[in-house]
Amino acid sequence: MNKSERSAQARRELDRKFRQANLKPIQTRPRAGWIRAIRSGLGMSQAALARRLGVSPAAIHKLEIAETHGGITTGKLAEIAVALDCTLVYALVPRSTLTETVMTRARSVAKGQIKYVARTMALEDQGVGGQREREALDRYAKELIATRDIWRDTARLGKSS
């Protein structure tokens, strides 16, 4: 199995996992943050959480603020999770399927690479247009996925091979 096939298989597997997961309810962090929401839900004071972590209540307040501003590390969140009898779940959740993201990028790269040819053909009254052009673009995009790094800077893609 070559690199392209392994990547496609990995995309399909991750897309399947994301389809099965019901992540919608937890994708939006509570306004005051997960730490405060769970601590409050447990009826635990900042002082009690501070004792469990061996820090001051002021440090807990700072950690809760840091979480809401995105300034807390996953390592610190993992420590807090243990103290709250929770499991830290860290995930990057794609906005669409990975397969769709890859195809969209490949189409964009393909379009950028063939636009000169398409323009020249149109000037010579040899443009294909419409459905045939979309099919050719899709074929080239699939070829790029199989043979090239579609994530390199588009300007550099045309210069290297």
Instruction: Output the tens digit of pLDDT for each of the chain's 161 residues.
Output: 788 889 999 999 999 999 888 888 888 889 999 999 999 999 999 999 999 999 999 999 999 999 999 999 999 999 999 999 999 998 888 989 999 999 999 998 888 877 766 666 655 555 556 677 788 888 889 888 888 788 886 544 444 43
Q: What is the dihedral of CA 82, 85, 91, 97, to 10 degrees?
A: 160
Nearest CA to 7 out of 151, 159, 156 is that of 151
> What are the structural domain ranges in the chain?
1-20+95-161, 24-90
- pTM score, whole prediction: 0.69
Topology, domain 24-90: 434 Repressor (Amino-terminal Domain) (1.10.260)
